[in-house]
Homo-oligomer: A and B are copies of this chain.
Amino acid sequence: MENELEKSYVIGLDMGGTNSVFGIVDQRGNIKSQTVISTRAYADFDDYVKASVEALQPALDAVGGIQNVRAMGIGAPNANYYTGNIENAANLVWKGIVPCAEKFEKALGIPVRVTNDANAAAMGEMTYGVARGMKNFIMITLGTGVGSGIVVDGRVVYGSDGFAGELGHFVIDTTDKARTCGCGRKGCLETYTSATGVARTAREFLENSSEPSELRALKPEDITSYDVFKAAEKNDAIALRIFNYTGKVLGRACADFATFNSPEAFVFFGGLTKAGEYLMKPLREAYEEHVLYTMKGKAKLLVSALNGSEAAVLGASALGWE
């Protein structure tokens, strides 16, 4: 009988709307090889699985074959940890319920776990990253949207239906001027602190002031969070105010989130964290200002140290060690 614990590798799959990135990962979080296929090119999910296994074969051969692989972890949009299914993902070509874990298990002959990308990121931080050894923390991913993965007693919170941890859709503004969110409601955190939220703040701030800014050279609708970052680097006053505002909104929200699980840390990940202290300084200040007195000075506010391009694959692979 083989000993599962001796198997030295796991497969991580970061399934995006455009590309699927596979990594073979060892126990220390080294990615031995990466393989990329198109997610969009296969109208039938069975064909996608077949193409995945074929593409993975050389990488598997290089580690001595699938018999040295313990399990596979998949980070995918709308992936349900409990069922192993991808459920009604708006950004994938496969509609309805896709039995993702089951199909890959059959094709590879190893256990497969799925979860969404923010939960995968939390697993990655806990397994290989800044949250190693932590039992209670909150992962916040700042990308096109805002995702979250909540860890309680060393386990990701999936809730009653597998879809817990949607802090990006926490309503932080209940006033009439709250921003409209893609979810159909108003005032969700992600309309303020995602990359698109920052661009939105930029347009608002530029419109509501006449202060000079190099951002005025751009068409308002073309401004990205990266443009704001570049301007901030040149000490552009409006750009600095934009990150200050974004950090404050996020810090205040995190102060409220702390009432849930009194976390040891918040870990921030995603493109927006490139803004560094432009974002993190006001974030920390607002957090400490607003958090309940019994929690002041307790939680660490950390930026992920995982390599951005590898973090998603590492996060997904971490599910394979569970």
Q: Which residues of A contact B (CB under 8 A)?
A: 135-136, 150, 152-153, 155, 157-167, 169-175, 183-185, 252, 255-257, 259-264, 290, 292-295, 298-299
Contacts and interface: CB of A to CB of B under 8 A. Distances in A.
Interface of A is mostly: loop
Nearest to A289: B185
A136 B155 contact: no
Q: Across chains A and B, which 9 residue pairs bring their CB atoms closest together, nearest first?
A: A159-B262, A164-B262, A166-B259, A160-B264, A136-B160, A159-B261, A164-B261, A169-B292, A260-B260
Nearest to A294: B163
A185 B290 contact: yes
A170 to B, nearest CB: 5
Nearest to A175: B175
Nearest to A162: B262
B161 A262 contact: yes
A185 to B, nearest CB: 7
Nearest to A78: B294
Contacts of A184: 293
A58 to B, nearest CB: 39
A260 B150 contact: yes
Contact of A256 (B153, B171, B299): B171
Given A136-B160, A155-B153, A252-B174, A165 B293 contact: no
Given A163-B294, A171-B255, 20 more contacts: A136-B159, A152-B153, A152-B157, A152-B159, A153-B155, A157-B260, A158-B262, A159-B261, A160-B264, A160-B299, A161-B295, A161-B298, A163-B262, A164-B260, A164-B262, A165-B262, A166-B262, A167-B259, A170-B259, A257-B260
